[in-house]
Structure 1
Amino acid sequence: MNGTMPRSSLATTADVAVRRTVGSVTTPPAPTTTPLRLPGVMDAEGRVDESRLRMHIFKNGGVSPTERGLVWRFLFGMYPCSSTALERPLLQEQLAVRYQVMKRKWKQMLPDSIRLRLNGTDAELVEAVRYFDQRQAHAQQQDQQEEVRDKLAFLELQAQVLFERVTFDLEELQEAIRIIDKDVPRTDRDLDYYLGEGSGNLLVLRNILITYAAFHPEVSYAQGMNDLCSRFLEVMDSEVDTFWSFSCYMEKFSKDFTADGLHRKIELEAALLKELDPQLYAHLVTDNMESFTFCHRWLLLGFQREFEHSDALRLFEILSCDHLELISQQVERARYQERLASKHSIVPEDNLLTEPQAINTDFTFELFICATILLENRESLLRCRNDVQLIQFTSSLQGTLDLNFTLKKAEEHFYNYCKRSAWDYMNIHCRTRKNKDEHFLYQLRSFFS
């Protein structure tokens, strides 16, 4: 198996994003004490309509904090949306045992790496280890009192067989652990979740990251994953559930942590800004500035530090619901209707051209969010003359941006981009249909009604 974790068939059903009618993002719904009782989303047996769930997240600007933990378990694929309320506890038991076996395997192979190497000057971290050890001891006592040990023993045997042939590159894993041990102590230490006795959660985060790196050697660990995984741990407050949800997320986005993946995303951001504001684009690609690399952290971590913390969580789930994207069914349907209409138009044969790519479907909504931030700070960016000034300016934005305003403006830029693309399409293909219905524009406009 070359060290690669087998993909669980139990956690794949919810991986595919289904896109439906799009509406504008608004403020989140008020908290509710009943988790995930969303009209039309969950049926009587607990199955979730995935497309409706994603639509609900987008249209309501995220979900309430009381719903978020359960919603994320579906949104990121830990729970298959087709699972029932009766099936999910059984699934959770199996995933819990599998995770414990995986964690135990790397600890047995690298016993010297079980404990975090402490910096003696960091009193909070020393205290975090003490809290963590107390929690572990308490959990072990509870396990010994459980009456279901026989059942869990069978599940553990299954997991051991599943991971028996997994081998590690110990040198690479040790290097990953070295970087993790540097990053974990710097993770969101000012959040309530990591203060006081909660500081032990830093060690939980460490276990998750090492286990992920051990069983995903093709990805291993890269800086920034700690901040991303921390977001899952804070919301779910469960080591096991965080591992599996984070793993499902990384199946789709692990390429963003590679040099090629990040370079590709920065190139796309530059291309989008060139479409929206050629002057600002030209300024940012002058010899004195390294193009758009200052957007690196924004795009890698989903604008985690640019918005107030609760808003950053909302934005993360809005972006993750994949609802307002240029590969959506609505855009494809609108373009298809326009192509059908153009076939019935009278266009001279010498004017028939190969159909252009009227829309760049690689422009994801997060790129429009990034572009919006740049455009809203256009004058300040035009005054920047070098990379140092760029970094200083973008650092000054941390925690200051208004999410609702940014979402509204990003939708406007998205719509205007679609509109210009539609006009370009019609100017090439539909020169004789100036007074006909503009199918593509009409349907795109209906996105925001």
Structure 2
Amino acid sequence: MWRDPGVPADSFYEIRPECTDVPVTRFKIKAGKTLSARKWHAAFTPEGYLDIGKTLSRIYRGGVHPSIKGEVWEFLLGCYDPKSTFEERDQIRQRRRMQYATWKEECHQLFPLVGSGRFVTAPVITEDGQPIQDPLVLKETSQAKGLAVHPQYNNSPSSMDAANNLAKVTDKTVVQWLLTLHQIGLDVVRTDRTLVFYEKQENLSKLWDILAVYAWIDKDVGYGQGMCDLCSPMIILLDDEADAFWCFERLMRRLRGNFRCTESSVGVAAQLSNLASVTQVIDPKLHKHLEHLGGGDYLFAFRMLMVLFRREFSFCDSLYLWEMMWALEYDPDLFLMYEMPQSASEKAEGSKGKTKSIRQCGKYEREIVKSGAKNAEAPLPMSVFLVASVLKDKSAKLLQEARGLDDVVKILNDTTGNIDAKKACCGAMKLHKKYLKKAKKP
């Protein structure tokens, strides 16, 4: 039987010609498997209601065509309710764009470079609120490194002058925010630098603006390293900056706990602890070996969980992995949970999960609902089982060759570009089923 070999999708995310060491992309656009624009538009009724159930299974089978990824992701991440109309969604979109513009203007008033097409990579303020004069030029030290001044227009000094003429800041919240701006800038210039897309100054500035605004509105978490990797695809897939911001904000609803740090712990430690518990159940021998090597805290998996495998896959494959994972985890009440958390919890309590259409749930979410795990406690995210599946795959090698934590890190680093996203998701699903069964046993 003839099988469609598929068309490479790399042409949608062009790589700079000088970058030759990027991981090879495995994802291919396959007719009949990949969710196409035609199939996607056919899933809507004339009013705009979306049959999300049918769409989820196709995404899991073959991913999403790059031309529609952005709009599909908005549903997968809970920006919109599939049970809404075109008109209702348009109203929500306009309202959100206005909200983003308001927040961005607030940030611009505090630091005029926000929204100017420029950004900083040098500190603008001291911890006690004293402005650091001329943080943008620093010609001798920073331009040599390609840092500090990132002007979009050479003939517009006003915003730069305003940024350099900061008065002493006494509000601790504002100081905290200003302290993060250069760190965001430093991370922005390192993010996806192999892509032609980020050769354009305006795209780098857009990424900086979104992260600066997010750090301002989420004062509890602020900005953390790794957020650039999570936000970058949104800017590439969605043309409107406000739409990209809201897509990122929805993703952060799932992941912000990983970035919440206290003096005694890192947010992602909870997920690492979950990973340890899962590995102990499904591969006790490997868990014991890792503990013996001093890796019982599973810190070697920190990066995989923080940025959802962005470094282990090519850019294109990481997007494929994300959309498969979100399709599998999809909960039809997602939009309601984010927009009206009270209503969502009341609905869950009143129905004990029974009125939720299983057909509208992703496969992973379905398993959780069937097992009753959702009612007992917060279910583990699929990312934990994805990491567990990579460890399981490397179990024999880790047991035979790892004689210290450096060996563990090296073996896992060797997976970069060598993991198949579809196989990893299948492996994670199998381990999840196995874990639910074993965890149930007394």
CA 1:115–1:68: 2 relative to 1, 3 Å: closer
One of 288, 307, 316 as aligned partner of 2:322: 316
How much does 1:315 deviate?
0.9
Unaligned runs of at least 5 residues, structure 2: 1-26, 122-135, 137-141, 157-170, 331-360
Contact 2:390–2:424 under 8 Å retained in 1:
yes
How much does 1:394 deviate?
2.3
How much does 1:97 deviate?
2.9
Match of 1:436 in 2: none
| Secondary structure at 2:143 match in 1 | coil
| Secondary structure at 1:42 match in 2 | coil
Partner deviation per Cα, 1:100-137 (whole Å, 9 max, x = no partner):
221121111123676424630245986xx45x449x9x
Residues in 2 aligned to 1:110 and 1:241: alpha-carbon distance in whole angstroms:
23
Match of 1:69 in 2: 70
Contact 1:180–1:209 under 8 Å retained in 2:
yes
Contact 1:311–1:403 under 8 Å retained in 2:
yes
% of aligned pairs identical? 26
Match of 1:386 in 2: 404
CA 1:173–1:329: 2 relative to 1, 3 Å: same
Q: What does 1:208-219 correspond to in 2, within 5 Å?
A: 208-219=210-221
Contact 1:272–1:363 under 8 Å retained in 2:
no
Contact 1:40–1:52 under 8 Å retained in 2:
no
CA 1:216–1:288: 2 relative to 1, 3 Å: closer
| Secondary structure at 1:328 match in 2 | helix
How much does 1:176 deviate?
1.7
Match of 1:47 in 2: 49
Q: What does 1:120-199 correspond to in 2, within 5 Å?
A: 120-123=143-146, 129-130=150-151, 132-133=152-153, 169-195=173-199, 198-199=200-201
Structure 2 letter corresponding to 1:277: D
One of 267, 272, 294 as aligned partner of 1:266: 272
Q: What does 1:228-307 correspond to in 2, within 5 Å?
A: 228-259=230-261, 260-286=266-292, 288-289=294-295, 291-307=297-313
How much does 1:65 deviate?
1.2
Please provide the CA RMSD for this pair.
3.5
Contact 1:270–1:292 under 8 Å retained in 2:
yes
Match of 2:109 in 1: 108
Match of 1:351 in 2: none
Structure 1 letter corresponding to 2:71: L
One of 199, 202, 205 as aligned partner of 1:203: 205
Residues in 1 aligned to 2:369 and 2:99: alpha-carbon distance in whole angstroms:
41
Structure 2 letter corresponding to 1:120: Q
Match of 2:227 in 1: 225
Partner deviation per Cα, 1:268-290 (whole Å, 9 max, x = no partner):
10111111111110111125436
Residues in 1 aligned to 2:378 and 2:57: alpha-carbon distance in whole angstroms:
20
The TM-score normalised by the length of structure 2 is 0.68
Residues in 1 aligned to 2:215 and 2:433: alpha-carbon distance in whole angstroms:
40
Structure with the largest fraction of helix: 1
Residues in 2 aligned to 1:290 and 1:419: alpha-carbon distance in whole angstroms:
24
Residues in 2 aligned to 1:105 and 1:418: alpha-carbon distance in whole angstroms:
47
How much does 1:90 deviate?
4.2
How much does 1:211 deviate?
0.6
Residues in 1 aligned to 2:379 and 2:368: alpha-carbon distance in whole angstroms:
13
Contact 1:326–1:363 under 8 Å retained in 2:
no
One of 432, 435, 441 as aligned partner of 1:414: 432
| Secondary structure at 2:219 match in 1 | coil
Residues in 1 aligned to 2:408 and 2:237: alpha-carbon distance in whole angstroms:
33
Match of 2:422 in 1: 404
Structure 2 letter corresponding to 1:63: V
How much does 1:249 deviate?
2.0
CA 1:52–1:291: 2 relative to 1, 3 Å: same
How much does 1:243 deviate?
0.6
Residues in 2 aligned to 1:179 and 1:36: alpha-carbon distance in whole angstroms:
42
| Secondary structure at 2:189 match in 1 | helix
Residues in 1 aligned to 2:216 and 2:30: alpha-carbon distance in whole angstroms:
39
The TM-score normalised by the length of structure 1 is 0.67
CA 1:168–1:203: 2 relative to 1, 3 Å: farther
- Structure number with greater Rg is 1
How much does 1:175 deviate?
1.5
Unaligned runs of at least 5 residues, structure 1: 1-25, 137-166, 337-355, 429-449
CA 1:293–1:28: 2 relative to 1, 3 Å: farther
CA 1:385–1:67: 2 relative to 1, 3 Å: same
Residues in 1 aligned to 2:417 and 2:267: alpha-carbon distance in whole angstroms:
26
